[in-house]
Structure 1
Amino acid sequence: MNQAIQFIDRLEFREPDHQLVFFAQVSGMLVECVIDLRNLDLKDESHVTEYFDKYRFDYEECAEQLIEDESYNSAGQIEVNLANLG
């Protein structure tokens, strides 16, 4: 793991957009890593949290690679999706 990238233990479920956001600290800056959940059948925040806990390592690994590749969107976020998990 790149020592300049650390994932912090913080999750936000943004219900109107049906997004889950987890956070990375990159050289002291906080970066939002966004997962679009619209295509998943997750009924509420507890299901979202369980889902993320199950795949946390995969999402963090994917986000780390996207951060290293500087694949930020126009809002400065990293968009992690199932296709990135390969």
Structure 2
Amino acid sequence: MNQAIQFIDRFEFNVQSQQLTFFAQVSGLMVKCVIDTQSLALADQQAAKAHFEAVRFDYEDIAEQLIEDEEYNSAGEIVVAVLN
């Protein structure tokens, strides 16, 4: 685990866009990690949280690798593929 990358206990879900967001601190800077969950059709914040918590460490591992590889999008975010 890279000590310069820390995932914080913060989670957001937008029902309309079906976008789940979690956050990492990278050398003191906040980085948004975004998951498009449209394929899961999550009904509400509670369903999104249950999904995220079930596979949180997998999402964090994927995001950590993308951050290390500097795979940021044009908005400076890390886009993580949805896990089923």
TM range, smaller chain: over 0.9
**Who is 2:56 aligned against?**
56
Normalised to the residue count of structure 2, the TM-score between the two structures is: 0.94
1:8 to partner: Cα distance: 0.1
How much identity, in percent, do the aligned residues show? 61
Superimposed CA distance per residue, residues 44-83 of structure 1 (whole angstroms, 9 cap, x where no aligned partner): 110100000000000000000000000000000000003x
Structure 1 segment 1-86 matched on structure 2, within 5 A: 1-82=1-82
Normalised to the residue count of structure 1, the TM-score between the two structures is: 0.92
Following TM superposition, the consecutive aligned residue runs of length 4 or more in structure 1 with deviations greater than 2 angstroms are none
2:67–2:78 contact (8 Å) kept in structure 1: yes
Q: Tell me the SS of whatever aligns to 1:11.
A: strand
Superimposed CA distance per residue, residues 24-49 of structure 1 (whole angstroms, 9 cap, x where no aligned partner): 00000000000001011321110100
2:18–2:41 contact (8 Å) kept in structure 1: no
2:15–2:42 contact (8 Å) kept in structure 1: no
Moved more, 37-46 or 50-59: 37-46
Any unmatched runs of 5+ in structure 1?
none
Q: Distance in 2 between matches of 1:15 and 1:30?
A: 23
